[in-house]
Amino acid sequence: MNAEFIEALHEIEREKGISKEVLIEAIEAALVSGYKRNFNSAQNVRVDINRELGNVRVFARKTVVEEVTDPRAQISLDEAQEIDPNYMVDDIIDMEVTPRDFGRIAAQTAKQVVTQRIREAERGIIYSEFIDREQDIVTGIVQRQDGRFYYIDLGKVEALMPLNEKMPNESFKQGDRVKAFITKVEKTTKGPQIFVSRTHPGLLKRLFELEVPEIFDGVVEIKSVAREAGDRSKIAVYSADPNVDPVGACVGPKGMRVQTIVQELKGEKIDIMKWSEETAEYVANALSPSKVVHVTVYEGEKVTRVIVPDYQLSLAIGKRGQNARLAAKLTGWKIDIKSETQAAEEGFVYSEPVSVIPAKGFKETEEALVQDEAYDIEANAVEEASTADVVDERE
């Protein structure tokens, strides 16, 4: 190695951001191992690379003794004083033991170490970039598929999308461009491993953040998302500015904003409703497009009883219970839905649109009435709800 090699390390430092000193120290450590391996040496050695000229020298560390019992680790006092008369017993001497052809070994080792360190640095840069992009959207090209994953080329790295993270109503072939949500970034010995999803609720949330300027600017806030990917989703939005309609902002002029998202999600129906800190109002909004007559809030059990018009019962529950299920996911409350006729038959009396019971009361006072019906939504008499692709709860 020579001065040109040192200059090459300077260039790597400038271009890759890898310290020249870190590289030299790594090469020195590798050369120590190489020396011991190639020359069958168990000596305590060190390798020194001249930081200016690139010269490589090997030194064996020996202890000065009166009588040598281990020539690999010891040197006699007489020999030591021939080198320097000031040496005394128990002093440590570094003796140069550089082999003649060690330059060739050094060059090969240096190349391997530098290549490895560059690869590690690049992996570290990629990891740092993508760990900061967790919970974000990326776009890539489908490369291939096996029994577990789609492999998606993101340019610098390949992402893995588990087959069950693909929406049920879509399929991909090699060369397809796909948008996906980064769920996890892991550091491995082979480099960063990036997992993505098309079914995660975060994909829907992030699409709205990118499509709706009011959300991006913080004027409108997404409070909650519930999603059954490829079929239907609900999203609750809020604005602290009374002059801003959060639902209208998300729908966009002539529904263009939300339709862009619907197209990206292959026709997935999206219900957009206004979030409220009042539980009864929030639950009623979440059951959109169904109209709600009355809500009783049982705060002790985090359960709500909702009364809807008879003709709205199927719509409130939804096909296979989907509307009620998504509303429960969105709000975090269990929802027991009754028609007005059912409520009357069961003796449930109400006079106001909202009743709030702070203590536990749902199971205790109405056990015979409820029986296991709270959120046990059967679709025996449920017909498929006729809803538009996008439901604006303002209507």
The pLDDT tens digits for 301-319 are: 899 999 999 999 999 999 9
Question: Which pLDDT belongs to residue 363?
Answer: 52
Q: How far apart are CA 25 and CA 17, in angstroms?
A: 16
Q: How far apart are CA 19 and CA 24, in angstroms?
A: 9
CB 132 within 8 A of CB 164: no
Question: Which pLDDT belongs to residue 383?
Answer: 35
Buried b / exposed e across 198-212, counting CB within 10 Å, b at 16+? bbbbbbbbbbbeebb
Amino acid letter, residue 289: P
Which stretches in the chain have pLDDT values below 70? 1-2, 40-43, 355, 357, 359-395
Question: Which pLDDT belongs to residue 354?
Answer: 73
Q: Please, what are the domains in the chain? A: 3-130 (3.30.1480.10), 133-199 (2.40.50.140), 200-275 (3.30.300.20), 287-389 (3.30.300.20)
CB 304 within 8 A of CB 334: yes
Residue with token string 């960063």: 192
Amino acid letter, residue 54: G
Question: Which pLDDT belongs to residue 361?
Answer: 55
Q: How far apart are CA 184 and CA 166, in angstroms?
A: 16
Is residue 162 reached through a cis peptide bond, with omega within 30 degrees of 0 on the bond before it?
A: no
**Quick one: tokens of 146?**
């096996």
Q: How far apart are CA 148 and CA 63, in angstroms?
A: 60
Helix axes 102-131, 20-38, angle to 10 degrees: 130
CB 250 within 8 A of CB 370: no
- Name, in order, each residue with C-beta under 8 angstroms of 125's C-beta and a sequence gap of 6 or more: 17
pTM above 0.75, yes or no: no
Q: Give percent helix, percent strand, percent coil of the chain, each to the nearest 5.
A: 40, 25, 35
